[in-house]
Amino acid sequence: MFKPNYIKIIFQGWLNWLLDIISDLKYKKYFDDRLNICKNCEHNKHGICDICKCVLTAKTKAEESKCPINKWDTIKNTLNKYKNDN
Ligand code: SF4
Tell me the pLDDT tens digit for each residue of 10-67. 889 899 988 888 888 899 999 999 999 999 999 999 999 999 999 999 999 999 999 9
What's the domain range around 47?
4-85
Q: Whose CA is nearest to atom 7 of ligand 1?
A: 38
- Give the binding-site residues of ligand 1, using a 6 Å CB cut-off: 37-38, 41, 43-44, 49, 51, 56, 67-69, 71
**Ligand 1 mutation target, pool 44, 61, 70, 72, most atoms within 8 A of CB:** 44
Angle between helices 4-22 and 28-39 (to 10 degrees): 100
Please give the tally of structural domains in the chain.
1
The pTM of this model reads: 0.85
* 4 or 57, greater pLDDT: 57
Contact 5, 64 (CB under 8 A): yes
